[in-house]
Chain A
Amino acid sequence: MAVVSSPASADPADPAGPPARPRWLTRERWAAIRRPLTTLVVVLAAWEILARNANRLFFAPPSEVVLAAMRLWETGELQHHIWVSFSELIYGVLLAIVIGTAIGVVVGISQRVQAYTEIYITALYATPLVAVTPLLILWLGIGIGSKIAVVFLTAVFPVLINTISGVRATEALLIEVAQSFCASRQQIIMKVTLPSALPYILTGIRLGIGRGIVGVVVGELFGSQAGLGFLIYTSGQTFDVPSLFVGIVTLAVAGVGLTFAAELVERHALRWRRTIRVD
């Protein structure tokens, strides 16, 4: 990955720098890693000290959380929960991307469809749809289906709303160019509208993933047989606080990881937008 121009990017050639540091690890990158890491170490240390002096029934120090994680990993339980939650999230989000984008294009293009639907889409976007989870569990059972439905419902509206905005933001001139080259309606959508709306759609997907993670956990809390939400719920029921924290930390790490992955995809897909690089 190229470094966008900035004053300190000439650093790795600096002979006075510490020799132990590999070449790719520039001073900026090292700082970018070191600083949040310092925060983490401080917080973990404080947590450890405080937790050791608190009631162990309700609180667990990081050391015990790590031990619980290793235990859960050895039995294969943790991997299973991660896999179930991850599958629910991916299926739900993929469904949200496909359906949200498709409907978004239709609503974005057609003034008429927009007139019929827009106010309801906005209303549903603002509604915390995780609230319908009990209903979905009633309909679809406590298996993976109801969780996919929750993820889909929570993730589809950010994708939909952003796609509509993106489609509407397409420059008329760019469509006219395609028309002057005798493009069909379908070609205009595929080759002009969608690529032009892509930055918006990707933002919607990123927001959708964030909401989807919440959807997975809430869905599993309400009724499930496996998954990180299930792990959290059952650990709470049995006062197994370290395992409960394993579930929470895993979710936090997954959230950061998925957001980072989405950003990488975004950056790659939108490389045409980047400012001229200075290498």
Chain B
Amino acid sequence: MSARAAAVAVEDLSMEFISRGQRLVALQNIDLDIAPGEFFVIVGPSGCGKTTLLRVLQGLTRATRGRILIGGKVVTGPGTDRGFVFQQDALYPWRSVLRNVGFGLELQGVAKTQARARARAMIDLVGLGGFENHYPHELSGGMRQRVNLARALAIEPAILLMDEPFAALDALTRETMQHELLRIAAAAGTTVIFITHQIDESVFLGDRVAVFATRPGRLQEIIPIDLPRPRPAGVKQSPEFQSHVARIVRLIGSYESH
């Protein structure tokens, strides 16, 4: 598997919309430096522009000002160096698990046998071996998000962009998926940029957590998470974990009251 994780630099990025005659600042002067292989989490209340930022990173949306560099190259549109895991159920319902996971490779014109072999490897990696021929409607929400993840990883991206991928899952499945994601991301060796509005999730997953504030959407503070990796069992109950959570709660809360 590739371990060609890339660095990401966001330089003075701003994004404005005109909505009903009003100027809306979705992102204001964002500067970020993300190291190769880092697990970078962005947390913030809804409307803080975190999803917009991820879409700009993916090249699905263009920023009003500023630029993004990935591995030193300026982003102008979508690229196969990035894999995107969508928030909702974004699988193709008419494709089996195997063909969903192989979708990106198929678009790139990878030979069928090779594409299948790689898709199977990814399905095994996310723990769905044996479900290759199932259709999405036959899978649970957690399994579908595993397929989503496998599909993004199959093109061997240098960066994995994840937009609240576990938001729709129940608490137990979410917990399992968090552990699984850390295992899978470590095995895949990619840089991960992960968006969430769940504070404990951000602390559990991230090497660093960027706290965003709303109206205008902006970066408030970046908090390094100095918890050991792999995260030990029961880490969520540790005082260090709790103090990180408390700090982020305060940061977000202080702006919610405005």
A106 interface residue per 8 A CB criterion: no
Per-residue interface assignment for chain B, residues 84 to 103, with 1 indicating a CB less than 8 Å from any chain A CB and 0 otherwise: 10101010111110000001
Considering the complex, give the chain A residue whose CB is closest to the CB of B58. A180
Considering the complex, give the chain A residue whose CB is closest to the CB of B59. A180
Is B86 touching A181 in the complex (CB atoms < 8 A)?
no
B246 interface residue per 8 A CB criterion: no
Which of A174, A178, A196 interacts with B107 by CB under 8 Å? A178
Is B92 touching A195 in the complex (CB atoms < 8 A)?
yes
Q: Is the interface of A mostly helix, strand, loop or mixed?
A: helix
User: Nearest chain B CB to A6's CB is how many angstroms away?
Assistant: 19
Q: A174 to B93, alpha carbons, bound, how many Å?
A: 10
Chain B residues, Cβ within 8 Å of A273: 93-94, 137
Is A187 touching B107 in the complex (CB atoms < 8 A)?
yes
Is A177 touching B93 in the complex (CB atoms < 8 A)?
no
User: Nearest chain B CB to A11's CB is how many angstroms away?
Assistant: 26
Per-residue interface assignment for chain A, residues 153 to 176, with 1 indicating a CB less than 8 Å from any chain B CB and 0 otherwise: 000000000000000000001101
Is A198 touching B94 in the complex (CB atoms < 8 A)?
yes
User: Nearest chain B CB to A151's CB is how many angstroms away?
Assistant: 29
Q: A198 to B95, alpha carbons, bound, how many Å?
A: 13
Is B90 touching A276 in the complex (CB atoms < 8 A)?
no
Is B138 touching A191 in the complex (CB atoms < 8 A)?
no
Is B78 touching A182 in the complex (CB atoms < 8 A)?
yes
Number of A-B contacts (CB under 8 A): 57
Is A191 touching B93 in the complex (CB atoms < 8 A)?
no
Q: How many residues of B contact A (CB 8 A)?
A: 26
User: Nearest chain B CB to A55's CB is how many angstroms away?
Assistant: 58
Is A180 touching B78 in the complex (CB atoms < 8 A)?
yes
Q: A73 to B233, alpha carbons, bound, how many Å?
A: 81
Chain B residues, Cβ within 8 Å of A179: 60, 78
User: Nearest chain A CB to B192's CB is how many angstroms away?
Assistant: 16
User: Nearest chain B CB to A203's CB is how many angstroms away?
Assistant: 16
Which of A180, A181, A195, A276 interacts with B94 by CB under 8 Å? A195
User: Nearest chain B CB to A171's CB is how many angstroms away?
Assistant: 9
Q: A196 to B96, alpha carbons, bound, how many Å?
A: 14
A183 interface residue per 8 A CB criterion: yes
User: Nearest chain A CB to B177's CB is how many angstroms away?
Assistant: 19
Is B107 touching A180 in the complex (CB atoms < 8 A)?
no
B135 interface residue per 8 A CB criterion: yes
A24 interface residue per 8 A CB criterion: no
Is B138 touching A174 in the complex (CB atoms < 8 A)?
no
B155 interface residue per 8 A CB criterion: yes
Q: A178 to B93, alpha carbons, bound, how many Å?
A: 14
Q: A193 to B241, alpha carbons, bound, how many Å?
A: 46
A272 interface residue per 8 A CB criterion: yes
Is A192 touching B92 in the complex (CB atoms < 8 A)?
yes
B129 interface residue per 8 A CB criterion: no
Q: A191 to B58, alpha carbons, bound, how many Å?
A: 21
Chain B residues, Cβ within 8 Å of A174: 90, 92
Is B138 touching A276 in the complex (CB atoms < 8 A)?
yes
B45 interface residue per 8 A CB criterion: no
Of B59, B79, B92, B138, which is in contact with the most chain A CB atoms at under 10 Å from its CB?
A: B92
Is A182 touching B94 in the complex (CB atoms < 8 A)?
no
Q: A183 to B105, alpha carbons, bound, how many Å?
A: 11
Is B135 touching A272 in the complex (CB atoms < 8 A)?
yes
Chain A residues, Cβ within 8 Å of B82: 180
Considering the complex, give the chain B residue whose CB is closest to the CB of A198. B94
Given the interface pairs A273-B93, A276-B137, the reply to whether A181 lies near B107 with Cβ below 8 Å is yes
**Sampled A-B contacts (7; CB under 8 Å):** A182-B78, A187-B107, A195-B92, A198-B94, A272-B93, A272-B94, A275-B137
| 13 additional A-B residue pairs with CB within 8 Å, beyond A181-B103, A272-B93, A272-B137 | A173-B86, A173-B88, A173-B90, A177-B90, A180-B59, A180-B78, A180-B84, A182-B108, A191-B103, A191-B106, A196-B94, A273-B93, A276-B137
Q: Interface of A with B (CB < 8 Å)?
A: 173-174, 176-183, 187, 191-192, 195-196, 198, 272-273, 275-276
